[in-house]
Amino acid sequence: DAGVIQSPRHEVTEMGQEVTLRCKPISGHDYLFWYRQTMMRGLELLIYFNNNVPIDDSGMPEDRFSAKMPNASFSTLKIQPSEPRDSAVYFCASSSLGLGEQFFGPGTRLTVL
Amino acid sequence: LAKTTQPISMDSYEGQEVNITCSHNNIATNDYITWYQQFPSQGPRFIIQGYKTKVTNEVASLFIPADRKSSTLSLPRVSLSDTAVYYCLVRSGNTPLVFGKGTRLSVIA
């Protein structure tokens, strides 16, 4: 298996622009997680899905952030409009053992100027 | 959720055994102790998980005393490639992982 796939790996955009991050989980995994990592706040869970349904989005910082999972093999995290404080590395992870071992993708490094 | 406390950083020479201790005083009966490793510019990777006593795999050992209020991750004979951040997490079956700041291990030649 190719593991969790994320795209793009790097994104540089200007404040106010819309940003869409993409994730393909490992085939057969029924849980998908979105995390954000910064030096100041560490690794934060933003939202997670089970069988394509959002279970807990309490970590989503504000209404500018939204996440969807239209099918079992694809998820997006969208920021609209983006702000410089959104600059971070965004990780997607998936798991098959309920909320057990998670497999992380390589991350998307987002820079908002 | 049980809160974990671990050292912010540790240094070690190559070839030595490294022990990273994590305290989790409020661990619940159903909680497991899980450790992840994160290399620079990569996502975290699962290392080991245990409930009590000792667990060993090809990467590390995990020691958990009877009261389960702490745990120790043991890395035998570390090499430069073991330089990473190590996260101790406590989880139960129905809650997602909550990552703290972890322990930054630097292995020196």
pLDDT digits (tens, 9 = 90+) for A6-15: 999 999 999 9
B40 at A interface, C-beta within 8 A:
no
Q: Measured between beta carbons, which residues in chain A are less than 8 angstroms from residue B91?
A: 99
Please tell me the distance in Å from B7's CA to the nearest CA on chain A: 15
Distance CA A89, CA A69 (A): 20
Q: Measured between beta carbons, which residues in chain A are less than 8 angstroms from residue B97?
A: 45, 99, 102
For the segment B44-62, the average pLDDT, to the nearest whole number, is 94
Residue with tokens 């570390």: B78
Are A107 and B43 inside 8 Å of each other by CB?
A: yes
pLDDT digits (tens, 9 = 90+) for B13-46: 999 999 999 999 989 888 899 999 999 989 999 9
Give percent of chain A with pLDDT exceeding 90.
86
What is the distance between the terminal CA atoms of chain B, rounded to a whole angstrom?
A: 38
If one counts every other C-beta atom within 10 angstroms of the C-beta of residue A22, the result is 16
Count of A–B CB contacts within 8 Å? 46
pLDDT digits (tens, 9 = 90+) for A31-54: 999 999 999 989 999 999 999 999
Q: Measured between beta carbons, which residues in chain B are less than 8 angstroms from residue A56?
A: 96
Distance CA A7, CA A110 (A): 11
